[in-house]
Chains A and B, each alone.
Chain A
Amino acid sequence: MRATGKKSRGQFIIITAFFIAIIMLSILPRVYFLGLQYRYIQYEPFKEIADNVNSDFERVLERSLSIASLKYNETFHETNATYADLMARSAAHDLISKWVSTVVKAYAGHGLQIELISYGNLTNIEWFELTANSTIKEKIRLNLTSYGLYGCERLVSVEFRVAVDESSITILDSTITLNFTATKENREPVTTLTESSLRILYFANDSTWKEANITSLSYYGLGVYEVSFSVGDDYDGKFRMYIIDDRKIMVINEVITST
Chain B
Amino acid sequence: MADELFMNRKGISKIFEALCSTVILLIVISVFSQLTAPSNPYSFQAEAELRKLGYNVLQQMAIKGGIDNVFFNETTGELNEDWGLKVKIALQNILPKGLFFNLTVYNATIQDDHVVLQLLDENYPYISNFVRKFEESTAVGTTYIYTTKNIAGKVRILVFYLNLIRGESYG
Contact = CB atoms under 8 A, between A and B. Distances in A.
Interface of A: 3, 6, 10-11, 13-14, 16-18, 20-21, 24-25, 27-28, 31-32, 35, 38-39, 42-43, 45, 48-49, 51-53, 55-56, 59-60, 63, 66-67, 70, 95, 98-99, 101-103, 105-107, 247-248
Nearest to B29: A24
Given A43-B47, A60-B157, 16 more contacts: A10-B13, A14-B24, A25-B31, A28-B32, A35-B38, A42-B47, A43-B44, A45-B55, A52-B145, A60-B147, A63-B155, A70-B153, A98-B115, A99-B108, A99-B147, A102-B117
A5 B126 CA distance: 80
B79 interface: no
A10 B14 contact: yes
Contact of A102 (B31, B149, B157): B157
Nearest to A49: B143
Interface residues of B, number: 47
A117 to B, nearest CB: 20
Query: Of residues A102, A103, A247, which shows the largest number of chain B Cβ atoms within 10 Å of its Cβ?
Result: A102
A93 B20 CA distance: 77
Interface string B20-47: 1110110111011001111100001001
Nearest to B21: A17
Nearest to A99: B157
Contacts, number: 124
B143 to A, nearest CB: 5
A10 B21 CA distance: 11
Contacts of A18: 24
B110 interface: yes
B145 A53 contact: yes
B31 A67 contact: no
A49 B54 CA distance: 12
A105 B20 contact: no
The 8 residue pairs across chains A and B that have the minimum distance between CB atoms: A43-B48, A17-B21, A101-B115, A102-B108, A66-B150, A48-B55, A21-B28, A31-B36
B51 interface: yes
Contact of B159 (A27, A49, A98, A106): A106
Given A21-B28, A48-B51, A98-B110, A105 B35 contact: no
